[in-house]
Amino acid sequence: MSRTNLVLIGMPASGKSTVGVILAKVIGYDFIDTDILIQKAEKKRLSRIIEDIGVDGFLEVENRVNAAVEADHCVIATGGSAVYGEEAMRHFKKIGHIMYLKTDYETISKRLKNIKRRGVALKDGQTLRDLYDERVVLYEKYADTVIEETGDAEDVVVKILTILDKG
Q: Are strands 5-9 and 96-102 parallel, antiparallel or unpaired?
A: parallel
Show the domains of the chain with their CATH numbers.
5-153 (3.40.50.300)
Quick one: angle between helices 46-67 and 86-95, nearest 10? 50
Q: How far apart, in whole angstroms, are the C-alpha atoms of residue 7 and residue 123?
A: 25
Residue 1 has pLDDT above 60, yes or no: no
- Amino acid letter at 114? N
Q: How far apart, in whole angstroms, are the C-alpha atoms of residue 145 and residue 138?
A: 13
- The pLDDT, as a whole number, for residue 9 is 98
Q: Are strands 74-77 and 30-33 parallel, antiparallel or unpaired?
A: parallel
| Helix or strand run (H / E) with residue 101 | strand 96-102
Provide the percentage of residues in the chain whose pLDDT is more than 90. Answer: 77
Q: What is the pLDDT of residues 11-69, one digit of tens each?
A: 999 999 999 999 999 999 999 999 999 999 999 999 999 999 999 999 999 999 999 99
Q: What is the pLDDT of residues 120-140, one digit of tens each?
A: 887 888 889 999 999 999 999
Three-state DSSP state, 126: coil
